[in-house]
Amino acid sequence: MLTQAAEDYLKSIYKLQEKGEKVSTGALAEYLDVKPASASGMIKKLKTMNLITYERSEGVTLTDAGSEIALEIIRHHRLLELYLNQALGVPWDGVHDEAEVLEHVISEEVEARMDAYLGYPTSDPHGSPIPDKNGVVQQTESIPMTELHSSQSCVVAEVSDDDSALLRHLGNFNLYPGTTFTVIDVAPFEGPFTIDIAGQEAVIGREVAKHIMVNNVKDT
Amino acid sequence: MLTQAAEDYLKSIYKLQEKGEKVSTGALAEYLDVKPASASGMIKKLKTMNLITYERSEGVTLTDAGSEIALEIIRHHRLLELYLNQALGVPWDGVHDEAEVLEHVISEEVEARMDAYLGYPTSDPHGSPIPDKNGVVQQTESIPMTELHSSQSCVVAEVSDDDSALLRHLGNFNLYPGTTFTVIDVAPFEGPFTIDIAGQEAVIGREVAKHIMVNNVKDT
DNA sequence: AAATTAATTTAGGCATACCTAAATTATATA
DNA sequence: TATATAATTTAGGTATGCCTAAATTAATTT
pLDDT tens-digit series, residues B180-208: 999 999 999 999 999 999 999 999 999 99
What is residue B9's predicted lDDT score, i.e. its pLDDT?
A: 92
Of B143, B172, B173, residue with least CA distance to B158: B143
pLDDT tens-digit series, residues B118-161: 999 999 999 999 999 999 999 889 999 999 999 999 999 999 99
What is residue B108's predicted lDDT score, i.e. its pLDDT?
A: 94
Residues of chain A with CATH 1.10.10.10: 4-62
Query: Which residue type sits at A51?
Result: L
A 10 A CB-CB count for A33 gives 6
A 10 A CB-CB count for A165 gives 8
Question: What CA–CA distance (Å, rounded) separates B213 from B19?
Answer: 14
pLDDT tens-digit series, residues B74-100: 999 999 999 999 999 999 999 999 999
C-alpha separations of A85 from A94, A99, A148 in Å: 9, 11, 30
Q: What is the mean pLDDT of residues A27-54?
A: 89
pLDDT tens-digit series, residues A70-119: 999 999 999 999 999 999 999 999 999 999 999 999 999 999 999 999 99
A 10 A CB-CB count for A76 gives 25
Question: What CA–CA distance (Å, rounded) separates A145 from A215?
Answer: 9
Which of the four pLDDT bands, split at 50, 70 and 90, describes residue A19? confident
Q: State which residue has its Cα closest to the C1' atom of C15.
A: B3
Q: Which positions of strand C lie within 7 Å of protein CB atoms? A: 7-11, 16-22, 26-27
CA angle at B91 for the pair A115 and B97, rounded to the nearest 5°: 90
Q: Is A113 on the interface with B (CB under 8 A)?
A: yes
Q: What are phi and psi of A97, to 5 degrees?
A: -65, -40
Task: Judge whether A109 and B88 are in contact, CB under 8 Å.
Answer: no
* CB within 8 Å of A82: residues ≥ 6 apart: A95, A118, A121, A123, A124, A125, A130
pLDDT surpassing 80 at residue B1: no
Question: What CA–CA distance (Å, rounded) separates A159 from A144?
Answer: 10
Note the CA–C1' distance, A183 to D15, in angstroms. 57
Q: What is the mean pLDDT of chain A?
A: 94
**Residue A44 C-alpha, separation from nearest chain B C-alpha, in angstroms:** 27
Question: What CA–CA distance (Å, rounded) separates A42 from A62?
Answer: 13
Q: State which residue has its Cα closest to the C1' atom of D26.
A: A56
CB contact under 8 Å between A90 and B110, yes or no, is: yes
Task: Judge whether B124 and B78 are in contact, CB under 8 Å.
Answer: yes
Question: What CA–CA distance (Å, rounded) separates A127 from A177?
Answer: 6
Question: What CA–CA distance (Å, rounded) separates B218 from B214?
Answer: 11
- Of residues B114 and A162, the one with the higher pLDDT is B114
Of B190, B218, B127, residue with least CA distance to B209: B190
Question: What CA–CA distance (Å, rounded) separates A179 from A74?
Answer: 24
Note the CA–C1' distance, A34 to D18, in angstroms. 9
Footprint of strand D on the protein (CB under 7 A): A 3-6, 33-35, 37-38, 41-42, 45, 56-57; B 24-27, 36-37, 40-41, 43-44, 54, 56, 59
What residue of B is the nearest CA neighbor of A118?
B88
Task: Judge whether A81 and A124 are in contact, CB under 8 Å.
Answer: yes
The alpha carbon dihedral of A185, A191, A197, A202 has a sign of negative
**B143-219 in CATH: which number?**
2.30.30.90
Note the CA–C1' distance, B33 to D3, in angstroms. 32
* CB within 8 Å of B66: residues ≥ 6 apart: B10, B13, B46, B50, B51, B52
Number of A to B CB contacts under 8 A, please give it: 37
Q: Is B101 on the interface with A (CB under 8 A)?
A: yes
Question: What CA–CA distance (Å, rounded) separates A135 from A65?
Answer: 11
- Of residues A178 and A26, the one with the higher pLDDT is A178
Question: What CA–CA distance (Å, rounded) separates B57 from B25?
Answer: 11
* CB within 8 Å of B207: residues ≥ 6 apart: none
What is residue B2's predicted lDDT score, i.e. its pLDDT?
A: 86
CATH architecture of A4-62: Orthogonal Bundle (1.10)
CA angle at B22 for the pair B19 and B25, rounded to the nearest 5°: 120
Percent of chain A with pLDDT over 90: 78
pLDDT tens-digit series, residues A148-205: 999 999 999 999 998 999 999 999 999 999 999 999 999 999 999 999 999 999 999 9
Note the CA–C1' distance, A21 to D24, in angstroms. 26
pLDDT surpassing 90 at residue B169: yes
Burial (CB < 10 A; 0-12, 13-18, 19+), residue A64, is exposed
DSSP string, A26-72: HHHHHHHT--HHHHHHHHHHHHHTTSEEEETTTEEEE-HHHHHHHHH
| Hits for CB < 7 Å against strand C across A residues 113-142 | none
**CB contacts, 8 Å: B110 with chain A:** 84, 88, 90, 98
Radius of gyration in angstroms for the set of CA atoms belonging to chain B, rounded to a whole number: 19
